[in-house]
Amino acid sequence: SAVISQKPSRDICQRGTSLTIQCQVDSQVTMMFWYRQQPGQSLTLIATANQGSEATYESGFVIDKFPISRPNLTFSTLTVSNMSPEDSSIYLCSVLIPGQGNYGYTFGSGTRLTVV
């Protein structure tokens, strides 16, 4: 399976600021996903980021709040903009490796964000 490096692993940020989370994969992947896991909750998909196209956002998530970049097949960033305490969550990237069927979904180790 792919190896994903996600940075930063954690951060404490002031409200009103922005944080950019990076996800680096050791192989080329077409499909990358960004998830949010709020305290005590399960994972919720924020958006799908495919190289060469605009990210596709899920209901309740908008590009102005969570802009995503996908400059190449091994890298993506998610920015959490104009943060508020409600944005305190774990943010995870995930990739799908083609041809590996059901075993192709791999997750980064997550970014634990606290907004104060």
Partner 1 sequence: RKEVEQDPGPFNVPEGATVAFNCTYSNSASQSFFWYRQDCRKEPKLLMSVYSSGNEDGRFTAQLNRASQYISLLIRDSKLSDSATYLCVVNWVDSSYKLIFGSGTRLLVRP
Choice between 84 and 109, CB closer to partner 1: 109
The CA angle 40-19-29, to the nearest 5 degrees, is 80
28: contact with partner 1 by CB under 8 A: no
- Name residues contacting partner 1, limited to 36-65 (CB under 8 A): 41-45, 48
| Interaction of residue 13 with partner 1, rule CB under 8 A | no
Number of residues near partner 1 (by CB under 8 A):
20
Q: Kindly provide the residue ranges of all beta strands, DSSP E only, lying in 1-116, ordered along the sequence.
A: 4-7, 10-13, 19-25, 31-37, 43-50, 56-57, 68-72, 75-80, 89-96, 105-107, 111-115
* Shortest distance in whole angstroms from residue 4 CB to partner 1: 9
Residues that bind partner 1 (CB under 8 A): 31, 33, 41-45, 48, 92, 94, 96, 101-103, 105, 107-110, 112
